[in-house]
Amino acid sequence: MSDAVENLNYIAGAWVGAASGATFEDRNPADPRDLIGLFPDSGAADVATAVAAVKAAWPAWAAASPEVRADALFKAADIMARRADAIAAELTREEGKTITEARNEARRIAANFRLYAGEALRLNGETYPSEAGQLVLSVRQPVGVVAVITPWNFPLSMAARKIAPALAAGNGVVFKPSEITPLMGQRLVEVLLEAGIPAGLIALVQGRGPSVGRAITAEPGIDALTFTGSYAVGKAIQASLSTDTRCQLEMGGKNATIVLADADLAKAAAVIERGAFGLTGQACTGTSRVLVARPLYEALVEKLAATAKAIKVGPGTADGVKMGPLATEAQYEKVLAYIEIAKAEGGRIVAGGESLRATDPALAEGYFVSPAVIADLPADSRLLREEIFGPVVAIRAIDTLDEAIAIADDTEYGLAVSLVTNDLSAVLRFTRETRHGIVKVNSPTSGVALNAPFGGFKHSSNQTAKEQGGATVMDFYSRIKSIYLGA
């Protein structure tokens, strides 16, 4: 539907193709006939060149004053704010989320840049009581070359909340965006370069995970690596790194919303709708399980079914659309496969779970499915335990808060969980006892404050350092050096 535009890597201060000359295609999930562009399909040679260039550039940036680093990030925030709507339109075309969701994400990037611009000025050390004639203090210094590997579901915000603190602390960055959303990676780098980030300090290396990702983890010049994605990939990354490479991994989730008997039904349904069906269910913090007190079970099933059926699905820029396509054909096939698993397990499909290609001619080319609500699944159902990453919510009845907490915690993940209730004593027990890194009350499992620490327990994170959160995250991007000064 559109002419292919060939895009480039940014390495050593120049826009270049892959050393091999290979490229890959970037297509619109709402209509894969729409070719967005061609991007470099990079490999180990490109990674090695990128790392060497960043390694040469970062000491000058580390020596720059905090004001210089802060000023560049403040300028990036202003540029991003001006371009947010234009970039959001490209984000909808590339990833599929609705234009409202895309604008929210694009505008949030400016806030991220401003937050970490401030942190560049607050990289404080401490002084410590010591013996007479001696001053003991600590200072923060950059780690060095930071590799940033990001997913496709939040291609702007995930990248910004890793790259911005890395730069604020005085590091250089080798950035590999997802091959599903390469244009968003390019746009973010363009904004940073226009803001005055020095040539060579950041490298953009496009390409597929098995080639570029593996080359990054094998590269000895990497001092730290931060990754968000699946547990399987994260586990492989950590195993491949040397022991002296810092590693921060944020991975999957199987998040539950618990609804107690005193909950307001309309509020509970609204909380679950946003958590389960927002962003087409493609959020690591999205709601995929609902554990509801038995007296409310049938009423909530009926309410959620009506809610799901009322959601208009279509291209993210179309009027009235509340849910866009799945991001890839693989995600589309995966969601439909889980619907079949639910049927085989005896689940009751009370709404959705259908491919819309055959039923709506306007959606015949895209990766569209209707939001699904599934009831009456057995306790050992795969849909209650495995991450689906799509607009599918499974509902199960519970009799006590103890039972709900036990079921919510009974997965390999521990990212986000929420509780809908007006019972303060239940809230206090729930927030204390559940084994999740993000615990919410009367609000969806998805959606987080950019200045609050983000991260899960168990297989949701390697738990070495929290992601985002203002000063908290700077512990990952800086080293603490203790200095003893004698007279």
Cite the active site residues.
250
User: How many alpha carbons lie under 13 Å from residue 111 in its C-beta half-sphere?
Assistant: 13
Is residue 324 within 8 A of residue 98, CB to CB? The reply is yes
Is residue 188 within 8 A of residue 223, CB to CB? The reply is no
Q: If phi over 0 gives left and psi between -120 and 50 gives alpha, with beta otherwise, what is residue 43?
A: beta
> Alpha helix (H) ranges present in 182-283?
182-194, 214-218, 231-240, 265-277
Angstrom distances, CA of residue 136 to CA of 119, 143, 483: 24, 22, 6
Rounded distance between C-alpha atoms, residue 430 and residue 410, angstroms? 15
Rounded distance between C-alpha atoms, residue 35 and residue 39, angstroms? 11
- Show the tokens assigned to 311: 């959601």
Is residue 226 within 8 A of residue 467, CB to CB? The reply is yes
Rounded distance between C-alpha atoms, residue 381 and residue 26, angstroms? 35
Scored b (16 or more CB within 10 A) or e, 298-312 reads eebbbbbbebbeebe
Please say whether the dihedral angle defined by the alpha carbons of residues 189, 194, 196 and 200, taken in this order, is positive or negative.
positive
- Torsion angle defined by CA atoms of residues 202, 44, 479 and 465, in that order, rounded to the nearest 10 degrees: 100
Angstrom distances, CA of residue 91 to CA of 149, 188, 272, 388: 18, 12, 25, 22
Query: Residue type for 482, please?
Result: S
> Alpha helix (H) ranges present in 345-481?
401-409, 424-433, 474-477
Rounded distance between C-alpha atoms, residue 140 and residue 143, angstroms? 9
Is residue 154 within 8 A of residue 142, CB to CB? The reply is no
Query: Residue type for 198, please?
Result: P
Rounded distance between C-alpha atoms, residue 422 and residue 419, angstroms? 10
Q: If phi over 0 gives left and psi between -120 and 50 gives alpha, with beta otherwise, what is residue 281?
A: left
- Show the tokens assigned to 58: 């970062």
